Amino acid sequence: MKKLLEDKYKEYNLFFYNENFEKLGENIINNYIEVIKEIKVTDRNYVAKIKYNENFYILKSPRNEHRKIQRKIMTLFKKGEALSTLVNTNKLIDEGLDFLATPYLAVVRRKYGMIVESYFVTEYFQEKKRKGYRREEIEEWIKLGKRLHNKKIYHGDFNPANIIDTDKGVRLIDSQCKHYYFGEYRSNYDKLTLEYSTYGTLGRENWYKRDVWYKLALCIKSIRNGGEKNV
């Protein structure tokens, strides 16, 4: 496993595995980066395609973490989304899960121990245009999900928007790659999320071991999504 490096710049902590990205972190803090395209701008997240040293990257700020008071307080005891994504994902890539988008840098500012601002930078992919969802394609996505779940890792938002088709193969994005330790509720919830976002159904596919964890995940997902949808 590569060694995580850390440096302080102004009021921010920079985390990276490759020193070449330290300067990028400083430029983000100073707002000296070139924003090519803002992909998502909401109260929950800011996502943009940026350019630095003639290379493209994806910049994300998980705003929800420092705008919602409950989540902000919890950062007293947690690394936060940016640093967790950097550490967890790089560890899994080192273990052979090369379908995960590589994060390069985390930038975190805390006040009174709580995160008040954070960013992370990941590799940029040229995405292929997708026309609908083919059955074979979705089955391949499920196999990638199983590779995560076999390591007791869950995605958290396992839907086609976070499954990118590239010239180098499929890549999964936008996951903190968190561990789960007891039962298979999380893995079933991931699979239900994918089924719902492609077929519009819940629990009808052959992906599940229909045990108590499946039933619990199905119950919670059904409540949150208000049942099935028309597709």
pTM listed for this prediction: 0.91
Is domain 5-123 given the CATH code 3.30.200 in the classification? Answer: yes
Token readout for 33 is: 């980066």
Question: How many residues appear in the chain?
Answer: 231
Any idea which architecture 135-225 has in CATH? Orthogonal Bundle (1.10)
One-letter amino acid of 55: N
**C-beta of residue 194 within 8 angstroms of C-beta of residue 229:** no
Where do the domains of the chain lie?
5-123, 135-225
| HEC-encoded secondary structure of 60-84 | EECCHHHHCHHHHHHCCCCCCHHHH
**C-beta of residue 144 within 8 angstroms of C-beta of residue 175:** no
- CA 176/CA 35 separation, integer angstroms: 24
Q: Tens digit of pLDDT per residue, the chain (231 long)?
A: 689 999 999 999 999 999 999 999 999 999 999 999 999 999 999 999 999 999 999 999 999 888 889 989 999 999 999 999 999 999 999 999 999 999 999 999 999 999 999 999 999 998 888 878 889 999 999 999 999 999 999 999 999 999 999 988 899 999 999 999 999 999 999 999 999 999 999 999 999 999 999 999 999 999 998 777 765
Residue 121, sorted as left (phi over 0), alpha (psi -120 to 50) or beta, turns out to be beta
